[in-house]
């Protein structure tokens, strides 16, 4: 299948693009390169530099390529920034992609996988969190993702565009071959930040919040290896091609790992006893986000194979050691 991958030069999107190629699909990448990296995309894959909200750019892609489906990764993702600039997130994550949906409708493309987030749940009332848990996002980022999920349901009811929204918990790690890893500017994710601190490539590392109602007082998260996450996209994309209905699924392991446990794992794997400074909580960060991935496992036979925290950290350290300046 020819697949349009929006945000395909970013961390998850570029790993997804490589997996699509390896499985015999033909991806076309649309990315602004605001945060993505041209070097992360296989040379054989067409890259269109542009925004999903640019009508002319998006419509030309559908005219020039016989697109069978869309993997939509493009979007802003910093929780703390979304609290300070909520309208920026609403525009980029909700309003701009309407142009993409309209272009899909006009081109007759009826399948889309959406990169959603566990942040739609807010502070959970039950753990692990099932998909039917109430939605009460505590950040504009989480709200923007939930709003687009609901918009996809509207496009199904009104225009027959089928979607599967995958609610990621914490994507992490690097490709198993060590060729592609996590690079954000600025970097805000805990595992790459801890790895950079361990390798002496950053000025310090902070643990934000030590007074949560968790076993060690630090926030609890469900980390999913990038390869396992991409495999979930392959399975759900193929399901849509075979007539699967619009739906949402959690993508996580079901196991919680605290920020302190991440620090301990990085110290053990790296052999570096770097300093972890204690700081106040960040706005918009829930205490616990741990998935119930039962439905994804039962319906698609999906199983995380590389998501033990030691495996995730080991792959991330391998990437950062071999790419001390990222893709530059």
Report, as residue numbers or ranges, the catalytic residues.
Answer: 141
Rounded Cα distance, 318 and 314, in Å? 6
Q: How far apart are CA 232 and CA 220, in angstroms?
A: 23
Closest C-alpha among 109, 134, 103, 100 to residue 120: 134
Give the integer Cα–Cα distance in Å for 202 and 322: 16
- How many angstroms separate the CA atoms of 174 and 312, rounded? 7
Report which secondary-structure segment, H or E, holds 57: helix 55-64
DSSP for residue 111: E
223 and 191 Cβ atoms separated by less than 8 Å: yes
Between the CA atoms of 193, 194, 196 and 198, what dihedral angle is there, to the nearest 10 degrees? 170
Q: How many residues does the chain have?
A: 328
Distance of alpha carbon 214 from alpha carbon 287, whole angstroms = 8
What is the rounded distance in angstroms from the CA atom of residue 97 to the CA atom of residue 161?
14
Look up residue 282 and give its DSSP letter: P
Three-class SS of 218-280? CCEECEEEHHHHHHHHHHHHHHHHCCCCCEEEEECCCCCEEHHHHHHHHHHHHCCCCCEEEEC
């Amino acid at each position: 299948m020819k697949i349009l991958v929006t945000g395909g030069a970013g961390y998850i999107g570029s790993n997804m693009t490589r997996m699509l190629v390896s499985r015999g699909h033909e991806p076309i990448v649309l990315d602004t390169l605001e945060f993505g990296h041209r070097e992360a995309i296989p040379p054989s894959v067409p890259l269109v530099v542009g925004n999903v909200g640019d009508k002319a750019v998006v419509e030309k892609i559908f005219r020039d390529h016989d697109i069978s489906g869309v993997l939509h990764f493009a979007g802003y993702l910093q929780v703390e920034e979304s609290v300070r600039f909520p309208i920026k997130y609403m525009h980029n994550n909700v309003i701009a992609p309407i142009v993409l949906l309209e272009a899909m409708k006009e081109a007759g493309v009826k399948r889309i996988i959406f990169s959603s987030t566990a942040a739609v749940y807010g502070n959970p009332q039950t753990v692990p969190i099932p998909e039917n848990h109430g939605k009460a996002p505590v950040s504009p980022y989480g709200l923007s993702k939930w709003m687009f999920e609901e918009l996809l349901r509207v496009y199904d009811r009104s225009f027959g565009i089928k979607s599967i929204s995958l609610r990621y918990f914490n994507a992490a790690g690097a490709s198993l071959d060590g060729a592609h890893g996590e690079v954000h500017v600025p970097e805000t994710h805990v595992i790459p930040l801890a790895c950079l601190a361990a390798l002496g490539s950053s000025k310090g590392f902070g643990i934000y919040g030590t007074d949560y109602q968790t076993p060690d007082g630090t926030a609890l998260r469900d980390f999913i290896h990038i390869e396992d996450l991409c495999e979930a996209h392959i399975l759900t994309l193929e399901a849509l091609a075979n007539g699967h209905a619009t739906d949402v699924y959690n993508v996580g392991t079901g196991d919680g790992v605290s920020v302190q446990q991440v620090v301990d794992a990085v110290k053990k794997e790296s052999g570096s006893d770097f300093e972890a400074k204690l700081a106040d909580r960040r706005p918009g960060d829930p205490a616990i986000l741990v998935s119930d991935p039962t439905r994804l496992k039962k319906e698609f036979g999906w199983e995380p194979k590389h998501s033990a925290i030691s495996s995730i950290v080991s792959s991330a350290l391998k990437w950062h050691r071999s790419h001390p300046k990222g893709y530059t």
